[in-house]
C-alpha cells in the first residue's frame, strides 16, 4: 500500500477546499499617517505608494478602506509642534484626534484604531518622557493614559499602545474606565521588538530617536519566551487583543503567543517589510502580488487573526478578484 498525500493536491478546486489557512479582507488593518495642515497628500519616499494626509483629505482613502471591507484603519498622527512631553499627543484638537473625528463623521461604521505613543510627538523622539537621560516608565504611562482617553473621547473604537512601557495596559484600562469609556478596546503592541525594520516608518513619521535607541523598552530579537511573558502580562492587565511586531521575521514568536493566550492575536507586517517588497518588485526581482499574498498567508498560518499591513487595500482587492 502506497500512501499518496498528493492526491489531495490534484486540482485547484480541491486544493482550495482542503487548505488550512484562508485570508479574508476583514482580518486586515490599514495604517494611515495623518499630518497637520490643509489640502495635503504627500508621498513618503521610503514607502512608495503610501502617503501622509491632512485631516481634510482623509475621506478619500478612508472610503477605499470602507469599500475594500477591511477590518479597520490604524491612525498615526504627525504633529506640527513637538515638545519634551509630547503634549500634542493628548491635545483635544491634536492632529490624530481631528482625524478620528473626521473618520467617525464620514464613515461611522469604519473601525478606527488609534496608535498610542509619544515618539511622533516628543522633541527627543522617544516613546515616553525623559528624566535624567532615561525614559521614565511611570511618568510615561500617566501621559499615555491621557493619550488613550483623548483618542477614545474623539471616537476611536480601539486604542493600540505601542510604547512598550511596563504596566501601560492596566493604566490605560483604568483611565478609560474612570472616564466611562468602558467599551473602548485595547489592542496592545505587547510583543514589540527593537527592530531595524521600522526604518521607513521613522522617516514617514519623523520619529527617529534624537539620542540613544529603544532597546531599554523594546524587546531583544534574540528572545521568544520573553515575548510570551509580555503577552501574558498584557492579557492579565486587560488587553482585548495583543500584537506581535514585526511580522515575517517573528513567526515563531507569533505562533508561541497564539498558543499561550486566549485573545485575538495580531501580526504587524512593518514598514521595512513593505518597502523591501516594493523595492524588489520595482526592479522586477519578484512578483509583488504573489509575494504579498504569500507573506499574509504565512502570518495567518502562524496564528495571526489580524494582520496590520500597508498592503491591506491591495490584499483585499487581490482576494476578492
Ligand atoms: C511608534 C511605532 C513605531 C511603529 C509603530 N508604532 C515605530 C517605532 O517603534 O520606532 C513601527 C511601524 C512600522 O515600522 O511600520 N512607537
Ligand atoms: Zn513610540
State the closest ligand 1 atom to the C-alpha of 31, by its place in the atom list counted from 1.
15
Q: Is the CB of 271 under 6 A from ligand 1?
A: yes
pLDDT surpasses 80 at 305 = yes
Check: CB of residue 115 under 8 Å from CB of residue 160.
Answer: yes
Active-site annotation holder among 82, 245, 258, 278: 245
CATH 3.30.420.40 corresponds to the domain 21-320:
no
Give the pLDDT score at 216. 87
Pocket test for ligand 1, best of 187, 201, 214, 274 (most atoms within 8 A of CB): 201
Q: List the one residue out of 198, 158, 307 whose CA is nearest residue 244.
A: 307
Give the pLDDT score at 5. 67
pLDDT surpasses 90 at 194 = yes
245 part of the active site: yes
192 part of the active site: yes
CB atoms within 10 A of CB 21: 12
SS3 per-residue string spanning 129-193: CEECCEECHHHHHHHHHHHHHHHHHHCCCEEEECCCCCCHHHHHHHHHHHCCCCCCEEEEEEEEE
Domain extents in the chain: 21-320
Summarize pLDDT for 35-71 with one digit per residue, the tens.
Answer: 999 999 999 999 999 999 999 999 999 999 999 999 9
Instruction: Kindly state the cell numbers that stand for 19.
Output: 487548505
Summarize pLDDT for 223-234 with one digit per residue, the tens.
Answer: 999 999 999 999
Give the pLDDT score at 291. 98
Instruction: Kindly state the cell numbers that stand for 49.
Output: 505608494
Q: Is the CB of 198 under 6 A from ligand 1?
A: yes
Give the pLDDT score at 15. 87
Considering the entire predicted model, what is its pTM?
0.96
Report the nearest-CA residue for atom 16 of ligand 1: 162
**Contacting residues for 299 by C-beta, under 8 A, at least 6 apart:** 247, 248, 251, 254, 267, 269, 307
Summarize pLDDT for 82-115 with one digit per residue, the tens.
Answer: 999 999 999 999 999 999 999 999 999 999 999 9
Q: Is the CB of 162 under 6 A from ligand 1?
A: yes
Confidence band for 6, pLDDT divided at 50, 70 and 90? low
Amino acid at each position: 500500500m502506497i500512501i499518496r498525500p498528493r492526491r489531495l493536491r490534484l486540482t485547484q478546486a480541491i486544493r482550495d477546499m482542503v487548505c488550512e489557512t484562508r485570508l479574508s479582507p476583514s482580518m486586515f488593518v490599514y495604517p494611515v499617517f495623518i499630518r497637520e495642515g490643509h489640502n495635503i497628500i504627500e508621498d513618503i519616499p521610503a514607502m512608495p505608494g503610501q502617503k501622509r494626509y491632512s485631516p481634510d483629505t482623509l475621506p478619500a482613502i478612508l472610503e477605499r478602506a470602507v469599500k475594500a471591507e477591511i477590518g479597520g484603519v490604524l491612525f498615526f498622527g504627525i504633529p506640527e509642534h513637538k515638545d519634551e512631553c509630547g503634549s500634542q499627543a493628548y491635545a483635544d484638537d491634536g492632529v490624530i484626534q481631528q482625524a478620528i473625528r473626521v473618520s467617525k463623521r464620514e464613515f461611522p461604521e469604519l473601525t478606527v484604531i488609534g496608535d498610542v505613543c509619544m515618539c511622533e510627538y516628543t522633541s527627543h523622539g522617544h516613546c515616553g518622557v525623559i528624566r535624567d537621560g532615561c525614559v521614565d516608565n511611570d511618568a510615561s504611562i500617566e501621559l499615555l493614559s491621557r493619550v488613550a482617553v483623548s483618542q477614545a473621547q474623539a471616537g476611536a473604537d480601539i486604542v493600540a499602545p505601542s510604547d512598550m512601557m511596563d504596566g501601560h495596559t492596566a493604566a490605560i484600562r483604568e483611565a478609560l474606565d474612570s472616564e466611562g469609556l468602558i467599551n473602548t478596546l485595547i489592542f496592545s503592541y505587547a510583543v514589540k521588538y527593537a527592530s531595524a525594520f521600522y526604518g521607513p516608518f521613522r522617516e514617514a513619521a519623523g520619529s527617529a530617536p534624537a539620542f540613544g535607541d529603544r532597546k531599554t523598552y523594546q524587546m531583544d530579537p534574540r528572545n521568544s519566551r520573553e515575548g510570551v511573558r509580555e503577552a501574558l502580562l498584557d492579557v492579565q492587565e486587560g488587553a482585548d487583543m495583543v500584537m506581535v511586531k514585526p511580522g515575517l521575521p517573528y513567526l515563531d514568536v507569533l505562533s508561541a503567543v497564539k498558543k499561550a493566550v486566549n485573545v485575538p492575536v495580531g501580526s504587524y507586517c512593518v514598514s521595512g517589510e513593505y518597502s523591501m517588497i516594493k523595492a524588489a518588485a520595482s526592479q522586477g526581482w519578484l512578483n509583488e502580488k504573489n509575494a504579498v499574498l504569500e507573506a499574509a498567508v504565512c502570518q495567518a498560518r502562524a496564528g495571526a487573526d489580524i494582520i496590520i499591513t500597508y498592503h491591506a487595500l491591495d490584499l483585499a482587492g487581490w482576494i476578492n478578484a
